[in-house]
Amino acid sequence: MYKKRPDGRKFDEIREIEAKVGIIRRADGSAMFRIGKTIALAAVYGPRELYPKFLQDPSRGILRCNYNMMSFSGSGERVRPGGSRRSKEISMITENSLNPVLDLSEYPGAVVDVFVEILQSDAGTRCAGICAAALALADAGFPMKDLVSAVSVGRIEDKLVVDLDKEEEDYEVEGEVADIPVAMMPKTGKITLLQMDGICSKEQLLKVLEIAKEACNKIYDVQKKALMEKYQI
């Protein structure tokens, strides 16, 4: 039975978190988000006119996200540079997670580009990227209903855990490990991302979502602090 986490954390304990904004001088907005050993950078450029013009939305601006893992970011393995099916999927997921809080109605025909780069990976990269991208958009000054906070939760044997690391993701067990990335709007608790790799029961899913909500609120506090530190007098 799974009795102890590899790094000694409690089952409902997230790793150490750090966040900063305004770290890339020439970007319109930027942020760094670190959770444990996973580090994500996000840079925002725009709004700017979208080409070709047939892609434009005459009623609002378009959010376009690009997720990439740097070749040296993998845990012990070199990541193949360039695009992949996984990076395209996570780019789309990032867009879908952020669109519900973002108001681009003032920028018809324009595009806002968000580039997410993973500098170091120890699981939870898509969640770290979403947290960094939300901060970068807020740093750029776009109207937002809320921030978006994201964390990975899941099941290992009979235990429900929060913020899985790489060793836990790869844990070998007779039953599958369930890895569940979740993104939320902290003020309302509305979910903007819910995925699951693995199997868990309905009852386990409901319980682990409550754990995710508590973890996202802790992440939200760190995100708010990072924004306030930049603009405090």
Residue 141: predicted pLDDT: 95
Residue 176: predicted pLDDT: 72
In a domain, 167, yes or no: yes
Residue 151: predicted pLDDT: 98
Region 44-52: mean pLDDT is 94
Residue with tokens 């993973």: 118
Average pLDDT taken over every residue of the chain: 91
Q: Say which CATH number the domain at 176 has.
A: 3.30.230.70
In a domain, 232, yes or no: no
List Cβ neighbours of 135 (8 Å cut-off, separation of 6 or more): 19, 21, 31, 33, 42, 147, 223, 226, 227
Residue 157: predicted pLDDT: 86
In a domain, 202, yes or no: yes
The lowest-confidence range among 68-82, 101-115, 141-155, 165-179 is: 68-82
In a domain, 10, yes or no: no
How many structural domains comprise the chain?
Answer: 1
Given a contact cutoff of 8 angstroms between Cβ atoms, the answer to whether 205 and 195 are in contact is no
In a domain, 86, yes or no: yes
Count of Cβ atoms closer than 10 Å to residue 26 Cβ? 7
Task: Determine the structural domain holding residue 152 and report its residue range.
Answer: 17-223
In a domain, 92, yes or no: yes
Residue 177: predicted pLDDT: 82
Residue with tokens 């109207």: 143
Q: How much of the chain, in percent, has pLDDT values that exceed 70?
A: 93
Q: What is the pLDDT of residues 183-197, one digit of tens each?
A: 999 999 999 999 998
List Cβ neighbours of 163 (8 Å cut-off, separation of 6 or more): 9, 13, 14, 15, 35, 36, 124, 151, 152, 153, 215
Given a contact cutoff of 8 angstroms between Cβ atoms, the answer to whether 66 and 113 are in contact is yes
Residue 20: predicted pLDDT: 97
How far apart CA 80 and CA 69 sit, in angstroms, is: 9
Is the omega angle on the peptide bond into residue 181 within 30 degrees of 0, that is, cis?
Answer: no
pLDDT tops 80 at residue 233: no
Q: What is the pLDDT of residues 154-181, one digit of tens each?
A: 998 889 999 999 888 888 765 578 899 9
In a domain, 229, yes or no: no
In a domain, 9, yes or no: no
Residue 158: predicted pLDDT: 86
